[in-house]
C-alpha cells in the first residue's frame, strides 16, 4: 500500500512537471528537452485514472498546481504567452479525459463557459486564445465557433445552461450583434441565468455597460480574473 | 575565435559589372590625366622612382603633378592583402576581413568635437498642473579625456560594436598637440578591449603610440601577430591632392607594417562632381592612389579601401550625410572595393540633425540598413554621431546598438531547404485539422533559440514615448558595469616609458 501512495504521488508530481513544461502528449518537446520522449499530461492522466487516483487529486495537486507555477513564471516574464497556452492546452486535454470520471463522481468544474464570435464576424484568433486559457483554468468550455447566429446562442444557453457566455467581435459593424444577443436572452428570460462577458478590438468598457453586458475583458487573462471574481 | 559580424548572403549592389569596370577605367584615366597634385615630397619621390611621371608646379607651396600609370596601380592591387586581420586586446574581439567576403563589422567613431549630455528636467502641464512630464534636454559641450574614457567604456559593452574608433576629440586644457595622441590611445585602449583604430594628430607621436601598443600586446612580435591598433589616414584631399602631413604619416605607418585605412571623403557638388558617376570615379582614383603609394612603401601593408563619400547640402554646401545619395555613393564604393578584393571601410549612420530624435533616427537607420545590406567589411556606422560628425551622444550610441542588432537579425540568411520544408508541411497539415487552427504550439521550440527577434528594447508603456529614458537607464547600467583595464604592471611600464600621458588616467595611482 505504501508503494501505491508513492506511485500516485510520483504520477501527480510528474503531471505537474509536465504542465509546467507545457507538454500535452509524449510527442511534445516542452520548454526544454529534459522530459523529451516521456509521457505527457494526456498519457499521465490516463495512467493516473487507471490507477484509480481521484480526479480531484489530479486536478488540485497536478494540473492546478502546475498552472500556478506557470502563472508565476508568466508574470515574472520568464514565460511567454505561447508557453502559457501550451500549458493551458495540456490541462484542457486532461480535463477532457477526466470528464466522464468527474461527472460520475459528481465533482463540479469551475463552470460551463460558452464562447462565440458573433454573427457577421469571422475573427477568431482572440476568441480561441480565450477558449484555450479558460479551459486550461478549469472551465468547461463550449466553443460555438464564428459567425454564430443569435438564435444559436440563445438555444445553447437554454439547452446547456452555461453559467457564462463569452462574445467576441472585432468589427464595429458586428459589435452591435452583442447587444442583440443580450436583448434576445432577455426576451427569452434567460438573461439572469448567465453572465455575459464581451471582448475584441471593437468593444470597450463603456460599450459593455451600454448594452448591459456583465463585463468587458481586455484579454484572456482579464477573463480569468473576471471569472474568478464571480 | 574572431568576432562573427554578419555575413551578408547576397549583398545589395547598385552597379552592374560593366558599370564597375567602366568606373575602374575612368579612374585609371583620372590617375594619368590629370593625375594627383602632391604637396608631399617623399610621396613624389617614391612614385617617381616606380615610373610615375612627375612635374613640379609653380606656386607658394611646393607641389608636384604626379601621373600614376595603370600598371603601377595594378601591381599595388596585387600586393595589397586580400585578408586583413585587425587584432584586439581581448583576442576574442579580433576582426578578420576578406576582401571578397561581405561580412559586416559594426564600428564606432569618428572623432567629434562636441559631447552631448542629456538630462531629463520635469515640466508641469499648464492645463493640468497635476501632470508632470519628463522631457529630454540635450546640452552640448567640448569633449574631454574623461568623456573618451566613458565612451570607450560603454562601447566595450555595446554588443554590436565590433571595433572602436574614438568618438570624441579630447580638448582638456592640459591636452596639447604633443600629448594628444598618447592620451587618446591610452584612454581608449585602457577602457576598451576591442580593436582600436585612430588617426594620428602628430607624426612625432607615432613611435610612442606604437610602443604603447607593443607593451599592451606583449611585445613587438605580439603586436605584429595581433595588431590591436590600426590607423586611418585621409592622405588624399579631394579633388586629387596628396596632403603633406597626412601623407607623411601614412608613409611612416606603412613602414611599420601596421594596418591602415586609406580613406577619402569627397563631397559631391563641391570637391567632387555632383553626379554619381563622377564622384565614384574620383573617389576610386583617390583611394587607389593612396593604396598604390602604401604598397610601394612596403608591399603587403594591410590596407582598407576607405570610402567616406558624401553629398553637399544645397542650402549651406556643408556635408549632408543624411542625404539619400550619400548612401548610394557608399554602396557603390563597397562594390568597387569588392571588385579589387580589398576589405572596405565604409560609412553609414551619420545624420545631419544635431540632437537625437525623429530626424536622427530616420536618417541614420536609412543609411545603416541600406549600406549594411551592401556588405562592407568595416562599417563605420557611427554609433552616437550627430550633426555630420560634429557631435557625439552616448545615449544615441546605446540606441544605435539596439538598431544594429535589428539590422544584423534582418541580414541573417533564410532557412529554406528540404528538411525545413518537410517540417513545415507536416505542421500545416497538422494544424488545419485542429479546432483552433493556430500554430502557436510550434512557436515554443523557437522562443528561446534566438531565432525570433525581440520586441523593441526601449518600448514604453501606454501612451508615452519612453525611448530616451529607457535608453538612458541602459546607458547608466553599462557605465556601472566594469571593464577590463590594462593590468597594473603594464600600466606602470606605459607610464614609465611613454611621456605625456595624464597622471589622472592611471587608475592604479588615483587618489594616492
Ligand atoms: C487578423 C485580422 C483579420 C484576419 C482574421 C483571422 C482570424 N482567424 O481571426 C482576417 C484577415 C481574416 C480579417 C478579416 C477582416 N478584417 Co480583420 N483584423 C485582423 C487584425 C489585424 C487582428 C485581430 C487579431 O486576431 N488580433 C489578435 C488577437 C489575439 O487579439 P483580439 O482578437 O483582440 O483578442 C484578444 C482580446 O481582444 C480579447 N478578446 C477577444 N474576444 C474576446 C471575447 C471574450 C469573451 C473575451 C473575454 C475576451 C476577448 O482577448 C483576446 C486574447 O487576448 C485586426 C486589427 C486589430 N487591431 O485588432 C483587424 C480588424 C479587426 N479587421 C478589420 C476588418 C475591417 C476586417 C475585414 C472586414 C476586412 C475586409 N474588408 O475583408 C475582414 C472581416 C470579415 C468579417 N466578416 O469578419 C478591422 C475592423 C475595423 C472596424 N471597422 O471595426 C480591423 C480593426 C483592422 C483595421 N484597423 O482595419 N481580419
Tell me whether residues A86 and B438 touch, CB distance under 8 A: no
Model confidence pLDDT, tens digit, residues B193-218: 999 999 999 999 999 999 999 999 99
Nearest residue (CA) to ligand 1, atom 55:
A201
- Distance (Å, rounded) from C-alpha B509 to C-alpha B488? 9
- Which chain A residues are within 8 Å of B447, Cβ to Cβ? 80, 82-83
Residue span of the structural domain in which A170 resides: 112-228
CA A45 to CA A91: how far, in whole Å?
10
Residue B449: the pLDDT is: 86
DSSP for A15-54?
HHHHHHHT--STT---SSGGGTTS--HHHHHHHHHHTT--
Show residues of chain A in contact with B445, CB under 8 Å. Answer: 29
CA-closest residue to ligand 1 atom 28: A126
Cα separation, B61 vs B81, in Å, equals 35
SS3 A181: helix
Domain of residue A153, CATH code = 3.40.50.280
Q: Which chain B residues touch A70 with a CB distance below 8 Å?
A: none
**Which residue's CA is the closest to the ligand 1 atom numbered 29?**
A126
User: Each residue of B348-394: pLDDT tens digit?
Assistant: 999 999 999 999 999 999 999 999 999 999 999 999 999 988 999 99
Q: Is the Cβ pair A29, B445 closer than 8 Å?
A: yes
Q: Is the pLDDT of residue A218 over 70?
A: yes
A120 Cβ partners below 8 Å, 6+ apart?
A147, A171, A173, A174, A177
**Contact present, B321 and B363 (Cβ < 8 Å):** yes
pLDDT at B26 over 60: yes
| B-interface mutation test, from A20, A82, A122, most B Cβ less than 10 A away | A82
Across the interface, whether the CB atoms of A82 and B438 are under 8 A apart is answered no
Name the residue ranges covered by the structural domains of chain B: 421-447
Q: pLDDT tens digits for B64-73?
A: 999 999 999 9
pLDDT class of B435 with cuts at 50, 70, 90: confident
Say yes or no: A206 and A134 in one domain: yes
How far is it, in rounded angstroms, from Cα B336 to Cα B281? Answer: 10
Same domain? For A88 and A142 the reply is no
What burial class does residue A109 get, using C-beta atoms within 10 Å of its C-beta: 0-12 exposed, 13-18 middle, 19+ buried?
Answer: middle
Cα-to-chain-centroid distance, residue B146: 22
Q: Are residues A25 and A54 in the same domain?
A: yes
Confidence band of B510 (pLDDT split at 50, 70, 90): confident
Which ligand 1 atom is the nearest neighbour of the CA of A124? 9
C-beta A201 within 6 A of ligand 1:
yes
Question: DSSP assignment, residue B503?
Answer: G
User: Which residues, at least 6 apart from B429, have a Cβ–Cβ distance to it below 8 Å?
Assistant: none
Q: Contacts of residue A132 in chain B, CB cutoff 8 Å?
A: 436
CB contact under 8 A, A86 and B444: yes
Beta carbons of A132 and B436 less than 8 Å apart: yes
Check CB contact of A77 with chain B, cutoff 8 Å.
Answer: no
The ipTM estimated for the assembled molecules is 0.77
**B436: distance to nearest CA of chain A, Å?**
6
Q: Find the Cα–Cα–Cα–Cα dihedral A157, A161, A166, A168, rounded to 10°.
A: -20
Based on the fold, state whether residues A86 and A116 are members of the same structural domain. no
Dihedral sign, CA of B453, B454, B456, B458? negative
Asked if A22 is an interface residue toward chain B (Cβ–Cβ < 8 A), one would say yes
pLDDT confidence of residue B487 = 97
pTM of the model: 0.87
Cross-chain Cβ contact A143/B435 below 8 Å: yes
Give the mutation target among A136, A141, A199, A201 for probing the ligand 1 site: most ligand atoms within 8 A of CB.
Answer: A201
Nearest chain A Cα distance for residue B470, angstroms? 18
User: What number does the ligand 1 atom closest to the CA of A166 have?
Assistant: 45
Burial class (CB in 10 A: 0-12, 13-18, 19+), B301: buried
Residue A85 sits at the chain B interface (C-beta within 8 Å) = yes
The answer to whether residues B94 and B88 touch, using CB atoms and an 8 Å cutoff, is yes
The C-alpha atoms of residue B70 and residue B67 are separated, in whole angstroms, by 10
The domain boundary, picked from A49, A79, A104, lies at A104
pLDDT given for residue B511 in this prediction: 60
Determine the Cα–Cα distance for residues B302 and B294; give it in Å rounded to an integer: 9
Residue A178, pLDDT > 90, answer yes
Spacing of C-alpha A118 from chain mean position: 19
Look at chain A and report how many structural domains it folds into. Answer: 2
Please name the member of A80, A86, A125 whose beta carbon is closest to the beta carbon of B441: A86
- How many Cβ pairs closer than 8 A exist between chain A and B? 31
- Quote the ligand 1 centre to A129 CA distance (angstroms): 13
SS (H, E, C) B369-426: HHHHHCCCCEEECCCCEECCCCEECHHHHHHHHHHHHHHHHHCCCCCCCHHHHHHHHH
Residues A83, A162 within the same domain: no
Q: How confident is the model at residue A108 (pLDDT cuts 50, 70, 90)?
A: confident
Provide, rounded to the nearest whole percent, the portion of chain B with pLDDT above 70. 100
Name the closest residue on chain A to residue B439, using Cα atoms: A82
Query: Do residues A46 and A124 both lie within one domain?
Result: no
CATH code (residue A30): 1.10.1240.10
The Cβ of residue B30 has, within 10 Å, a number of other Cβ atoms equal to: 22
Residues A161 and A204 in one domain: yes
Question: How distant is the Cα of B479 from the closest Cα of chain A, in angstroms?
Answer: 25
Report yes or no: A187 and A198 within 8 Å, Cβ to Cβ. no
Mutate to test the pocket of ligand 1, among A126, A168, A224 (most ligand atoms within 8 A of CB): A126
For residue B461, pLDDT beyond 90: no
Partners of residue B57 on adjacent β-strands: B63
Residues A15 and A41 in one domain: yes
At which of A70, A104, A138 does a domain end? A104
For residues A60 and A79, membership in a common domain is answered with yes
Whose cell is 485539422? That residue is B433
Residues A134 and A216 in one domain: yes
3-class SS string, A105-163: CCCCCCCEEEEEEECCCCCCHHHHHHHHHHHHCCCEEEEEEEEECHHHHHHHHHHHCCC
Q: Specify the pLDDT at position A4.
A: 53
pLDDT at A6: 67
Q: Which three cell numbers stand for residue B273?
A: 562632381
Q: Peptide bond preceding B110: is omega within 30 degrees of 0, i.e. cis? A: yes
- Which among A123, A135, A165 is the best mutation to test ligand 1's pocket, defined by most ligand atoms within 8 Å of the CB? A123
Asked whether the predicted pLDDT for residue A32 surpasses 50, the reply is yes
Ligand 1 neighbour A170 (Cβ under 6 A): yes
- A positions 30-69 inside 8 Å of B (CB): 31
Candidates A82, A129, A131; nearest CB to B443: A82
Give me B145's grid cell: 579625456
Question: What is the arithmetic mean of pLDDT over B174-191?
Answer: 97
Please tell me the distance between residue A122's alpha carbon and the centre of ligand 1 in angstroms: 8
Q: Is 50 exceeded by the pLDDT of residue B427?
A: yes
- Centroid of ligand 1 to alpha carbon of A168 (angstroms): 10
Q: What angle in degrees, to the nearest 10, is found between the helix axes of A2-21 and A41-50?
A: 160
* Nearest-angstrom CA–CA distance, B30 and A212: 82
- Of A58, A85, A104, which residue is a domain's last? A104
For residue A84, how far is its CA from the centre of ligand 1 (angstroms)?
A: 22
Residue A131 and residue A222 in one domain = yes
Mean pLDDT over each residue of chain B, to the nearest integer: 95
Verify that A99 and A30 share a domain, yes or no: yes
Please tell me the distance between residue A132's alpha carbon and the centre of ligand 1 in angstroms: 18
Amino acid at each position: 500500500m505504501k508503494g501505491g501512495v508513492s506511485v500516485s504521488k510520483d504520477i501527480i508530481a510528474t503531471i505537474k512537471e509536465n504542465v509546467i513544461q507545457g507538454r500535452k502528449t509524449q510527442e511534445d518537446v516542452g520548454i526544454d528537452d529534459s522530459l523529451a520522449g516521456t509521457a505527457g499530461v494526456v498519457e499521465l492522466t490516463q495512467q493516473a485514472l487507471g490507477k484509480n487516483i481521484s480526479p480531484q487529486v489530479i486536478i488540485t495537486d497536478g494540473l492546478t498546481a502546475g498552472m500556478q507555477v506557470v502563472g508565476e513564471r508568466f508574470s515574472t516574464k520568464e514565460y511567454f504567452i505561447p508557453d502559457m497556452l501550451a500549458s493551458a492546452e495540456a490541462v484542457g486535454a486532461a480535463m477532457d479525459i477526466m470528464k466522464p470520471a468527474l461527472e460520475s463522481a459528481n465533482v463540479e468544474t469551475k463552470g460551463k463557459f460558452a464562447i462565440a464570435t458573433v454573427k457577421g464576424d469571422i475573427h477568431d484568433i482572440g476568441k480561441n486564445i480565450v477558449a484555450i486559457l479558460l479551459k486550461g483554468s478549469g472551465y468547461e468550455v463550449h466553443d460555438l465557433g464564428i459567425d454564430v447566429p443569435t438564435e444559436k446562442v440563445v438555444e445553447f444557453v437554454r439547452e446547456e445552461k452555461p453559467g457564462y457566455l463569452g462574445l467576441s467581435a472585432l468589427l464595429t459593424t458586428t459589435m452591435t450583434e452583442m447587444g442583440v444577443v443580450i436583448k434576445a436572452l432577455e426576451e427569452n428570460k434567460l438573461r439572469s441565468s448567465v453572465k455575459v462577458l464581451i471582448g475584441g478590438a471593437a468593444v470597450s468598457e463603456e460599450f459593455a455597460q451600454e448594452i448591459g453586458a456583465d463585463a468587458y475583458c481586455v484579454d484572456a487573462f482579464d477573463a480569468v480574473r473576471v471569472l474568478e471574481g464571480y | 575565435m574572431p568576432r562573427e559580424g554578419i555575413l551578408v548572403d547576397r549583398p545589395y549592389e547598385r552597379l552592374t559589372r560593366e558599370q564597375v569596370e567602366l568606373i575602374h577605367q575612368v579612374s585609371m584615366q583620372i590617375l594619368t590625366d590629370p593625375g594627383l597634385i602632391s604637396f608631399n615630397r617623399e610621396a613624389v619621390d617614391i612614385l617617381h622612382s616606380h615610373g610615375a611621371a612627375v612635374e613640379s608646379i609653380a606656386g607658394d607651396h611646393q607641389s608636384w603633378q604626379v601621373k600614376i600609370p595603370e600598371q603601377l596601380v595594378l601591381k599595388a592591387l596585387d600586393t595589397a592583402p586580400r585578408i586583413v586581420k585587425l587584432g584586439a586586446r581581448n583576442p576574442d574581439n579580433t576582426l578578420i576581413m576578406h576582401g571578397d567576403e561581405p561580412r559586416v563589422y559594426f564600428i564606432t567613431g569618428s572623432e567629434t568635437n562636441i559631447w552631448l549630455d542629456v538630462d531629463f528636467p520635469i515640466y508641469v502641464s499648464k492645463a493640468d498642473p497635476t501632470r508632470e512630464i519628463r522631457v529630454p534636454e540635450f546640452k552640448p559641450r567640448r569633449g574631454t579625456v574623461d568623456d573618451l574614457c566613458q565612451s570607450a567604456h560603454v562601447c566595450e559593452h555595446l554588443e554590436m560594436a565590433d571595433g572602436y574608433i574614438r568618438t570624441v576629440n579630447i580638448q582638456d586644457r592640459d591636452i596639447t598637440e604633443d600629448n594628444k595622441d598618447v592620451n587618446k590611445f591610452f584612454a581608449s585602449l585602457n577602457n576598451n578591449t576591442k580593436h582600436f583604430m585612430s588617426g594620428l594628430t602628430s607624426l612625432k607621436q607615432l613611435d610612442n603610440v606604437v610602443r604603447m601598443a607593443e607593451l599592451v600586446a606583449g611585445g613587438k612580435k605580439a603586436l605584429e601577430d595581433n595588431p590591436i591598433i590600426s590607423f586611418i589616414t585621409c592622405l588624399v584631399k579631394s579633388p586629387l591632392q596628396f596632403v603633406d602631413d597626412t601623407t607623411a604619416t601614412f608613409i611612416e605607418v606603412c613602414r611599420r607594417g601596421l594596418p591602415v585605412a586609406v580613406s577619402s571623403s569627397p563631397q559631391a557638388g563641391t570637391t567632387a562632381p555632383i553626379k554619381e558617376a563622377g564622384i565614384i570615379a574620383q573617389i576610386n582614383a583617390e583611394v587607389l592612389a593612396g593604396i598604390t603609394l602604401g604598397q610601394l612603401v612596403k608591399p603587403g601593408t594591410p590596407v582598407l579601401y576607405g570610402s567616406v563619400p558624401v553629398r553637399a547640402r544645397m542650402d549651406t554646401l556643408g556635408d549632408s550625410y543624411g542625404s539619400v545619395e550619400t548612401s548610394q555613393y557608399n554602396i557603390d564604393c563597397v562594390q568597387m572595393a569588392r571588385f579589387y578584393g580589398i576589405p572596405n571601410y565604409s560609412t553609414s549612420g551619420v545624420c545631419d540633425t544635431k540632437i537625437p530624435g525623429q530626424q536622427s533616427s530616420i536618417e541614420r537607420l536609412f543609411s545603416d540598413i541600406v549600406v549594411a545590406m551592401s556588405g562592407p567589411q568595416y562599417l563605420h556606422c557611427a554609433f552616437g554621431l550627430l550633426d555630420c560628425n560634429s557631435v557625439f551622444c552616448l545615449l544615441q550610441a546605446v540606441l544605435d546598438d539596439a538598431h544594429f542588432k535589428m539590422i544584423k537579425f534582418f541580414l541573417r540568411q533564410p532557412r529554406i531547404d528540404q528538411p525545413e520544408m518537410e517540417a513545415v508541411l507536416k505542421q500545416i497539415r497538422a494544424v488545419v485539422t485542429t479546432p483552433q487552427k493556430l500554430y502557436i504550439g510550434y512557436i515554443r521550440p523557437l522562443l528561446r533559440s534566438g531565432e525570433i527577434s525581440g520586441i523593441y528594447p526601449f518600448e514604453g508603456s501606454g501612451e508615452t514615448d519612453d525611448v530616451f529614458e529607457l535608453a538612458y537607464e541602459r546607458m547608466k547600467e553599462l557605465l556601472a558595469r566594469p571593464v577590463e583595464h590594462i593590468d597594473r604592471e603594464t600600466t606602470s611600464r606605459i607610464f614609465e616609458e611613454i611621456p605625456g600621458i595624464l597622471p589622472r588616467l592611471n587608475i592604479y595611482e588615483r587618489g594616492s
